Amino acid sequence: MTEIETMSFEEAMKELEATVGKLEHGDATLEDSIKLYERGAKLRAHCEKRLREAEERVEKITLAANGQPDGTVPVEGL
């Protein structure tokens, strides 16, 4: 299994969706279900962290009086 910390957001989401599908299908043993749930919780937390990091990098483009882009400012509230 890939280490969660090294996964991209997309990789983690894909595995999280597959994990949820396995849990919903109900074929896993109780012990396997617990392990799947634990990994799913870690994947969810990783996805949330990656989203927060992305939000912090989002910037708003500012325009000059002539309508041309003249710079960026951080998004307020992040």
pLDDT digits (tens, 9 = 90+) for 45-73: 999 999 988 877 777 767 777 877 777 77
| pLDDT interval class at 76 (50, 70, 90) | low
Q: Which helix (H) or strand (E) holds 44?
A: helix 30-57
According to the model, what pLDDT value does residue 56 have?
Answer: 75
Query: Hunting for tokens 């617990």 — which residue is that?
Result: 34
> What is the pTM (predicted TM-score) of this model?
0.73
